[in-house]
Each structure stands twice: as structure tokens, then as C-alpha cells.
Copies of this chain bind each other. A is one copy, B any other.
Amino acid sequence: MSGGLAGLGRSVTLEVVAGHAGVSRQTVSNALNAPGKLRPETLRRVQESIAALGYRPDRHARSLRTRAAGALGYGLAPGGSGGLADRFLPALCHATEMSGRSLLLFTARPSREGLVAYDELLSHGVVDGFVLSHVVPGDTRHAWLAQRGVTFTSVGRIWSGEQPGPWVDADHAAGIEAAVRHLHSRGHRRIALLGCPPGPGAAEDRVVGWRRACRAIGLPDEELLLTRAVDGIAGGRAGTAQLLDASPRPTAIVAVSDDLALGAVHAITERGLRPGLDVAVSGVGDSAVCTAVRPALTTVRLPIEEMARRAVRLLDEAAVPVLESSAGLLLAPELIIRDSTPPPAAP
């Protein structure tokens, strides 16, 4: 434990403020927690004293009394979160503060072993709710928390059975749909999908979006070209190699992640073709690599900041412990059009 504030006469307490304003402690407390109970003139006098003395209620005393921590917990996977943290955390932190609480960061895997960390925080009274992200299919955290009546919101879906508790997610299918429609409007007709191995999750929802868009646009079934690859640059490269073997070759490849899209760019280049010009490419995520690579990658940008904000708002609304209610919120991603998706080259 550290030394804390060693400085000059530290604690300005309720008592001190009361003395300064010439009222009782109770009145000062009311000025803070129930201003309506005070006569306007008294209220003003107390507020002046508070300001003059720079009084801040001690959070621990308050929490001890009210039995509310006033803090939200967010579990970070030990290894890092794969680039998401950089947009998500500042937004989550800000949203939490706007709702009048603190954000406590802690280390916990999303897997079952991670639950002990959630349990600890709860039983020490350090937090009174959680924001969950990096949800894995079949995540056990939601049921565990809901069963204990703990407030929480999920950023991302479980993708299996009933999902306990409120959640926010990006409309992944709609994002891919936007990419397909964009390519179609640019004149592309053979729009292949570079997906991930089948299984419940956001990646599969993107495959659904592609199917839906192709059908809506009226692309004949024979044109539907789909390859699945393990997410990553290497996977994208291998998957694209297969797609490029098809004849006629697709003129556009819609990848379900930026890394897959990047792999596609490399595979296209290795064939002696020009990414963008000969084969258009789009990704998902709007990661830093999109603008680093040439041609700059068209991508589906997920509404990460908005998801963070909504997650906290849902938490506020779910003041009543949510046992069965399952309010979901689907947020539209945004298509960021860059150089990798021009009109197709004349044959």
C-alpha cells in the first residue's frame, strides 16, 4: 500500500463544511444528495461553503453507507485484446464517467476460469456491475452474472440459445451488405466472400449478410463464390489463392476482417494482378493497416464508440436486476470507401 496523500491538512469532511456554513452535517449531506429538501437560500450558502473549502465526499465512507461501489468493472484479457481496446476503452471510460461512476480495469479471461476475478470484485464490494466484451460463443459469464442478480451489459452476443441480460452489438450482416452493395454499384458482378470457418459468431453473421445482399441485388446463384479461411493475413492469402483459381475470376473479394483482406491483397499481388484495379478488396474493422497499405483498404467500420456508450446507458436503464429480460441493440456499422474498391477493370 502506498502513502496516499501526505500533504497539508487533508480531510475536509462533512463536519467541517457544516461548521463553515453554520448548519448541521445532515443538511450538507442533503445539499449534495437531495437539494430539493433545502430552502434555496440555505442550499446556496452550503454550496458556497462546499466550493470555498473544496469539499469532496469521501467515496469509501459513502460506499460503505450506501452499499454501492459506484464503479463498473471491465475485464481485460491478459494477452491483450487484439486492437479493439484502443477505440473501445477511452469511449467506455468516458461513458462511465458521464454516468457518474468509475471504471475499474481488471485482468480476466472471458473463459470460465476468469469468473473468479468477477466474483472477487463483487464480494469485496469494489464494483456493482460489469461491462462484458470479447464475448466468445457460449460465454458463461452472462448466465453466471444474471443468476446472481448482478448488473451487467454485454458488448457482443453469445450466439447460442437465450442470451441473459442486455446487449449491444454491431449489425455485422448489414455491414457486409453495405460492402456488397457498394461493389455492385461500382459495376462488380462477381463478388466473392472470404469468410471464416463456419460456426456461431459475428464472422458467420457476415457470411449471412453477403448471401442476403447477393440475393437482394439479384446476382445469380452460379456467381456466388465463397471461401473460408482461418482469420489472419496468412489465411486470407491462402483463401484468396483459391478464389483466384475460379474462372471466371471474381472481380471483387469481400473479406470478413481486415487481416483477411490484407492477405487477399498480398495474394492478388503475388499473382501479378493489381489489388483494387484487377480485383477489388474490402475488409472489416477499419484497423490501422487499412490506411497503411496501398491501395488503402475499403472497410466496414464498427461503431465501437457508440457501442461503448450504449452499453453504459443500457446498464443505467437496467437498474432493476435483469433476470430474464434480454434487450438487444443492433448498431449499424459504416462503410469506409477507399482505393481498394474502384470500378472493375474493362476485361
Q: Is A139 an interface residue (CB 8 A)?
A: no
Does residue A66 face the partner (Cβ distance < 8 Å to B)? yes
Cβ contact within 8 Å between A57 and B124: yes
Is there an interface contact between A3 and B149, defined as CB atoms closer than 8 Å?
Answer: yes
- B-chain residues with CB within 8 Å of residue A128 when the two chains form the complex: 1-5
Q: Evaluate contact between B90 and A319: CB separation under 8 angstroms.
A: no
A17 to chain B, nearest CB (A): 13
User: Is A47 at the interface (CB under 8 A from chain B)?
Assistant: no
CB 8 Å contact bits of A295-325 with B (1 = contact, 0 = none): 0000000000000000000011011110000
Given A105-B105, A126-B59, A150-B90 contact (CB < 8 Å)? no
CB < 8 Å neighbour of A60 from B82, B90, B125? B125
A125 to B59, CA, bound (A): 6
What is the minimal beta-carbon distance from A98 to any residue of chain B, in angstroms?
9
Which chain B residues border A105 with CB–CB below 8 Å? 74, 89, 93, 103-105
A287 nearest in chain B by CB position: B288
Tell me if A60 and B56 are in contact (CB < 8 A): no
Q: Which residue of B lies closest to A100 (CB)?
A: B1
Pick the contact of A6: B3, B101, B125, B149 (CB < 8 A): B149
Known pairs A68-B4, A269-B294; A56 contacts B124 (CB<8 A): yes
Q: Is A209 an interface residue (CB 8 A)?
A: no
The yes or no answer to A215 lying at the interface (CB within 8 A) is no
Residues of A in contact (CB 8 Å), total: 77
Given A89-B105, A124-B57, A3-B83 contact (CB < 8 Å)? no
Assuming the contacts A86-B86, A292-B292, asked whether A2 and B315 have C-beta atoms less than 8 A apart, the reply is yes
**Is A246 at the interface (CB under 8 A from chain B)?**
no
Do B54 and A64 have beta carbons less than 8 Å apart?
no
Among A2, A5, A294, the most chain B Cβ lie within 10 Å of the Cβ of: A2
Is B57 touching A78 in the complex (CB atoms < 8 A)? no
Q: Does the CB pair A85–B94 fall under 8 Å?
A: no
The CA of A1 and the CA of B101, in the complex, are separated in Å by 8
User: In the complex, what's the smallest C-beta–C-beta distance from A88 to chain B, in angstroms?
Assistant: 9
- Does A54 contact B123, Cβ atoms closer than 8 Å? yes
A102 in the interface (beta carbon within 8 A): yes
Which of B5, B60, B68, B320 touches A122 (beta carbons < 8 Å)? B5
B residues less than 8 Å from A223 (CB atoms): none
Contact, CB under 8 Å: A90 / B107: yes
Q: What's the least CB distance linking A16 to chain B, in Å?
A: 13
Counting chain B CB atoms within 10 Å of each CB, the highest count among A4, A7, A70 belongs to A4
Check A89–B100 contact: CB distance below 8 A.
no
* A87 partner residues in chain B, CB cutoff 8 A: 80
Residue in B66, B70, B76, B94 whose beta carbon sits within 8 Å of that of A107 in the complex: B94
A56 to B117, CA, bound (A): 13
User: With contacts A79-B90, A103-B104 known, is A292 near B233, CB below 8 A?
Assistant: yes
Please state if B70 and A80 are interface contacts (CB–CB under 8 Å): no
15 contacts between A and B (CB under 8 A): A1-B70, A5-B122, A56-B120, A56-B123, A59-B60, A61-B64, A78-B90, A81-B86, A93-B107, A104-B105, A105-B105, A233-B291, A289-B292, A289-B293, A293-B293
